[in-house]
Chains A and B, each alone.
Chain A
Amino acid sequence: MANGEREVGADAPAGGFVQLLTPDGERVDSVTTTDGMTYSVDFTDEEYRELYRDLVTVRRLDAEATALQRQGELGIWASLLGQEAAQVGSGRALRKQDMAFPTYREHGVLYTRGIDPIMPFGLFRGVDQGGWDPHEFKFNTYTIVIGSQTLHATGYAMGITMDGKTGTPDGEAVIAYFGDGATSQGDVNEAFVWSGVFNSPIVFFCQNNQYAISEPLERQTRIPLYRRAAGYGFPGIRIDGNDVLASYAVTRAALDQARNGQGPSLIEAYTYRMGAHTSSDDPTRYRIASEVESWKAKDPIARVRAFLTKQQVADETFFAEVDDTAKKLALDLRERVLAMPDPEPVTMFDNVYPHGSPEIDAQRASFERYHATFEGSGH
């Protein structure tokens, strides 16, 4: 084995994982898996710095959202803390034409798509149900019912094939995000079956953050999740989900295979949910502090910073500027969230049907008449 190359499984949790940047910030040149795939990255210094900026920014925005929720400005927030590398790496690996299907936690992926980070705040503030145009951003709406989006992603990928958009250099691919808990859902397993049978251009990106609310991984599986793929007839691979380089390299390769007509694959990003499931959750009821501490040592951002420092690719001035810029973005986000108006109640009757409905029209009219009777009465 050449210097700097490691066989998967060398120092990894059961089953091994692809890691290109260690928690100490050491680069691994490339990783070759047992099935002969070699993963590496070839970034310029500037690209490394921008990845770092992405990571810091999404964490800072997330912290702002958590604060906004505590102050009562959001109904709920699902934090991505700890999962920045999995999201930024895979998100940056998408090409412009690729389509993403998120859960409710993919704020980092959303950011890498170049979308204004305020977009999901309507949902969490309660002023809408998460409304945006998926086509505009190649980023579908957030999906709350666990696992549903994996079938939508599969169908979208089937459409790509039907449109003849695979097997060409400008081919398209789809990425479906979901959690470890979701792998138990029938929908997810059906998505695996369908994408396999139809050889669909899709990457299943599972962020295994070790928990589904309070339930640990062992409640969902007795084999490493990535190995499920074998049973459906496509490749599965585990990556260090806290390594943004591994996340990028492996997702990039899997997407390119998909767009080249080689069908689906499953990536298990082995990571950890550092915060609560959502702001409504109290994780002290089901996990111990020392476990959280041990994952702190594998922080996805600290290792990039250590690497940049060691390589002299960035210095303190750069880091300070990144923090400062992220803070400005966060404060700007805060202001815009606070300024989000409540919707006019009557708009709840909008968008029920593309062709409308006389019954809805009648209910809207009666709603308006009823509310008019309160006018001036202090209601």
Chain B
Amino acid sequence: MTESSRGGKPQSKTMGETITLGKALNHGLRRALEDDPKVIIMGEDVGKLGGVFRITDGLQKDFGDDRVIDTPLAESGIVGTAVGLAIRGYRPVCEIQFDGFVFPAYNQIVAQVAKMFYRSLGNVRLPIVIRIPFGGGIGAVEHHSESPEALFAHVPGLKVVTCSSSADAYMMIRQAVASDDPIVFFEPKRRYWEKGEVDLDADLGQAFPLHQARVAREGTDATVLAYGPMVRTALDAAIAAAEDGRNLEVIDLRSLSPLDMETVYRSVRRTGRAVVVHEAPGNLGLGAELAARITEECFYSLEAPVLRVTGYDIPYPAARVEEDFLPDLDRVLDAVDRSFGW
């Protein structure tokens, strides 16, 4: 361990710094490494390079290459060894370089990470965080723009979260690392460069609960449910809708498993309308689960069926047409119109 990692606050801390979402994650990981010597970071190119998105920039330099580990190029190895390290008492934070490259590790995640606590009758905790930059909109080639969150949220034993702002990025990554649950942490890669205010001095104790949804914008006429990269899209749609005299409430789900349905029900019972937005294909996606639960719980409050705005049920298309694949402001407004037209 190097000097700088031995506690003591970095000098740069001030209230309410405005930083990018990517930088907020970087600060959050730094804090996690400072707060607990058992926290380690492992992944491809996370060390010297600081990750292909620079989320771990400078961390190896400051915490040493035994805590920020450039691994061999093998995702099953990254997660599989993280399991062993966790059994041994470490708290690994694994980076998967892109969404489309998590699948070599899928076996370890689904068959081992998710089940170890259950199998061991609660004796073995795996406080592992698996960070995955996800989603499209960056003009990339195949496998670099996918939204596989439902494939993880569907698995009992895993928790799945995603952030949409710098402030949440900073706190949520710290909360995830501090949690004893295995957590798949999806990062909205196309929002890495968007800036927001972050309180770098915030204590974990005062943090907004990790698995709670947040009302990102209060409204009265319809509820738009979004997460990760689509929160910004939903907020933009709400601004546009306001010009037409419609007051949309936007909820940032934040936790995809477990879902904080109480926050959702409260909103939908008030507005009577719900639109779910995600980039992932609609078929069996988060929207399907949300629509089912809202229908079960809020049936008599609903003025219209729950509608979904999602990616299509096709492989992620070529970059030059991805804007037509991804939900955008117009498609969200179109769904809101349809809800009102019911």
Residue numbers of A with Cβ under 8 A of B are 75-76, 104, 122-130, 144-146, 181-182, 184-187, 212-215, 219-220, 280-281, 285-286, 342-343, 345, 347-349, 352, 359-360, 363, 367, 370-371, 374, 379
Whether B233 sits at the interface, judged by CB under 8 Å, is no
Contacts of A219 in B (CB 8 A): 70-73
Contacts A186-B104, A215-B73: A129 and B141 contacting too (C-beta < 8 A)? yes
Taking a contact as CB atoms under 8 Å apart, the answer to whether A348 and B76 are in contact is no
The answer to whether A348 and B73 touch (CB under 8 A), given A214-B45, A360-B313, A363-B312, is: no
Contact A286:B142 (CB < 8 A) given known A146-B73, A359-B313: no
Known: A144-B142, A213-B45, A348-B314. 14 other contacts (CB 8 A): A126-B319, A127-B318, A181-B73, A184-B74, A214-B45, A214-B70, A347-B321, A348-B312, A348-B318, A352-B315, A359-B283, A360-B314, A367-B312, A370-B331
B101 within 8 A of partner (CB): yes
Chain B 13-52: CB-based contact to A (< 8 A → 1; otherwise 0): 0000000000000000000000000000000110111101
B73 x A285 contact (CB < 8 A): no
Q: Are B318 and A128 in contact (CB under 8 A)?
A: yes
Asked whether any CB of chain A lies closer than 8 Å to the CB of B140, the reply is yes
Q: By the criterion CB–CB under 8 Å, are B314 and A145 in contact?
A: no
Q: Tell me whether A348 and B321 are in contact (CB under 8 A).
A: yes
Q: How far is the CA of A360 from the CA of B283 in the complex (A)?
A: 11
Q: How far is the CB of A207 from chain B (nearest CB, A)?
A: 14
Most buried by A among B100, B101, B143, B324: B324
Count chain B residues whose beta carbon lies closer than 8 angstroms to a beta carbon of A: 38
B143 touching A145, Cβ below 8 Å: yes
A75 touches B45 (CB 8 A): no
A-B contact pairs, 29 of them (CB 8 A): A126-B139, A126-B141, A126-B320, A144-B141, A145-B143, A146-B73, A146-B101, A181-B72, A182-B73, A185-B74, A186-B104, A212-B73, A214-B47, A214-B48, A214-B49, A215-B70, A219-B70, A220-B72, A285-B50, A342-B321, A343-B318, A343-B320, A345-B324, A348-B325, A349-B312, A352-B313, A367-B324, A371-B324, A374-B330
Contacts of B141 in A (CB 8 A): 75-76, 104, 123-124, 126, 129-130, 144
- Flag if A126 contacts B312 (CB, 8 Å): no
Which of B49, B52, B104, B313 contacts A185 (CB under 8 A)?
B104
Bound: A374/B329 CA distance, A: 14
Instruction: Give chain A residues whose Cβ lies under 8 Å from the Cβ of B104.
Output: 145, 185-187
Complex contacts, A214 vs chain B, CB 8 Å: 45, 47-49, 70
Task: From the candidates A213, A286, A345, name the one contacting B44 in the complex (CB within 8 A).
Answer: A213
- Interface of B, secondary structure class, is loop
- Cβ contact of B100, chosen from A145, A212, A347, A359, cutoff 8 A: A145
For A76, list chain B residues within 8 Å (CB): 140-141
B201 at the interface (CB under 8 A from A): no
Nearest neighbor of A352 in chain B, beta-carbon distance: B314
**A286 and B317 form a contact (CB under 8 A):** no
Distance in Å: Cβ of A115 to nearest Cβ of chain B: 19
B73-100 vs A, CB cutoff 8 Å, 1 = contact: the mask equals 1101100000000000000000000001
Residues of chain A within 8 A (CB-CB) of B314 are 348-349, 352, 360, 363
Total A-B Cβ pairs within 8 A: 116
Give chain B's interface residues, CB within 8 Å of chain A: 44-45, 47-50, 52, 70-74, 76-77, 100-101, 103-104, 139-143, 283, 312-315, 317-321, 324-325, 330-331, 334
Q: How far is the CB of B142 from chain A (nearest CB, A)?
A: 5
Q: Let me know if B52 and A280 touch, CB within 8 A.
A: yes
The answer, among A144, A285, A360, A374, for a CB contact under 8 Å with B49, is A285
Contact at B324–A213, with CB atoms within 8 Å? no
CB-contact partner of A215 in B45, B139, B317, under 8 A: B45
Q: What residues on B are CB-neighbors of A374 within 8 Å? A: 330
- Docked complex Cα distance between A328 and B181 (Å): 60
B77 / chain A contacts, CB cutoff of 8 Å: 184, 186
Tell me the nearest residue of chain A to B76, going by C-beta. A186
6 closest residue pairs by CB, A with B: A126-B319, A214-B49, A184-B72, A348-B317, A345-B324, A181-B73
Closest to A345 in B: B324
- In angstroms, Cα B319 to Cα A343, docked, is 10
User: CA separation between A145 and B334, bound complex, in Å?
Assistant: 36
Contact A370 B321 (CB under 8 A): no
- Which partner residue on chain A sits nearest B105 by CB separation? A186
- List A contacts of B324 (CB < 8 A): 345, 348, 367, 371
**Contact A286-B321, Cβ < 8 Å, known A130-B142, A185-B74, A220-B72:** no
Chain B residue nearest to A344 (CB atoms) is B321
Which residue from chain A places its CB closest to the CB of B103 in the assembled complex?
A: A145
A186 and B74 contacting across the interface, CB-CB below 8 Å: yes
Q: Closest A-chain residue to B144, C-beta based?
A: A144
Residue of B nearest to A367 (CB): B312
Which residues of the partner chain B approach A184 to less than 8 Å between Cβ atoms?
72-74, 77
Q: Shortest Cβ distance from A88 into chain B, in angstroms?
A: 25
Contact across chains for B143 and A144 when beta carbons are under 8 A apart: yes
Q: A379: which B residues are within 8 A, CB to CB? A: 330
Residue of B nearest to A128 (CB): B318
A85 to chain B, nearest CB (A): 24
Residues of B within 8 A of A129 (CB): 141-142, 315, 317-318
Min Cβ gap A68→B in Å is 15
Bound together, the chains give a CA A155 to CA B238 distance in angstroms of 52
Chain B residues with CB under 8 Å of A123's CB are 141-142
**Which residues of chain B come closer than 8 Å to A363, judged between CB atoms?**
312-314
